[in-house]
Amino acid sequence: MSERSRFELHSGERQTGAELGKIRKDHVFRYECALECIQRYMGQEIEAGGLFGLDIFCATGYGTYLLGRSLPCVMWGIEGSEEAVRVSRQAYPNQNLLFSCKIYPFVLPQERFDFIVCIESLEHVDEYSSYFKMLSAALVPKGTLILTVPNEELLPLRIHKGKFHVKHFYRKEIEEIAHSENFMVKAYFGQNLYLLNEEAIVGNLSEEEMQLVENQDGQIMQFAMQKKS
């Protein structure tokens, strides 16, 4: 499979629905959990308003929209697929939503964002340490990062066989990277999606079973972090 195909809308690595109701529920659950964490840890900032948020690798912008309609903010969604960005702009022409096509590596403005949502992107980046460092530098002091990654312990890369995944992560790895980049992990959540045997994914769980659970490891791990300074 060519490198170019990873940036096609229908590569298999992104949700393609043009409205929130057409997005698979497990993806929506992650953004809903991200929203709850931002509300939990940024109460004073939310009351003050005027926030600037980033949704990085945002696919068709459904999560960018979910956050933008619920928070007093401007949301910037970045995505590598030009097709997906076109869908985002057509589906969500809200004044507080911006969408851009950028293929990593790129540079983000430093200490500019009050919060960043990074859902299902770290596993696609070869230089994941540099990518994480860029996210840290782009956040304001005490800014919030919501990060979601597949869990190598419960969803090994060899079983998942994602077309463009380069790495799955252990929870301890993410916690160590976070510490090295001056973050405090405020909460973590586990989400299970699949029935597995030792060699492959053999089925899907029900939507009810796909809810994120705090303080529990899952096949997908979601972290809420605060930049210390």
Mean pLDDT of 20-25: 87
pLDDT-wise least confident of 7-21, 51-65, 129-143, 154-168? 7-21
Q: What is the pLDDT of residues 48-97, one digit of tens each?
A: 999 999 999 999 999 999 999 999 999 999 999 999 999 999 999 999 99
Q: Using 50, 70 and 90 to split pLDDT, how confident is the model at 4?
A: very low
Residue 13 has a pLDDT of 62
Residue 9 has a pLDDT of 57
Residue 15 has a pLDDT of 60
Cα–Cα distances in angstroms (integers) from residue 59 to residues 16, 32, 121, 144, 225, in the given order: 7, 16, 10, 21, 23
183-193 burial: b if 16+ Cβ within 10 Å, else e = bebebbbbbbb
Domain range 3-227, its CATH number among 3.30.1950.10, 3.30.420.40, 3.40.50.150, 3.10.20.30 = 3.40.50.150
Look at residue 221 and tell me whether its pLDDT is greater than 50.
yes
**Measured between alpha carbons, how far is 142 from 146 in angstroms, rounded to an integer?**
13
Please give the helix or strand (H or E) that residue 195 lies within, else none.
strand 194-196
Look at residue 39 and tell me whether its pLDDT is greater than 80.
yes
Residue 5 has a pLDDT of 44
Residue 18 has a pLDDT of 72
Mean pLDDT of 101-120: 96
Residue of 228, 195, 206 lying closest to 29 (CA atoms): 206
Look at residue 118 and tell me whether its pLDDT is greater than 50.
yes
Q: Which residue has the tokens 């851009």?
A: 100
Q: What percent of the chain has pLDDT over 90?
A: 86
Under DSSP, the state recorded for 3 is G
pTM score, whole prediction? 0.93
Q: What is the pLDDT of residues 119-151, one digit of tens each?
A: 989 999 999 999 999 999 999 999 999 999 999
Mean pLDDT of 210-221: 98
34: tokens are: 């991200």
**Measured between alpha carbons, how far is 55 from 72 in angstroms, rounded to an integer?**
15
Domain ranges of the chain: 3-227
Look at residue 21 and tell me whether its pLDDT is greater than 90.
no
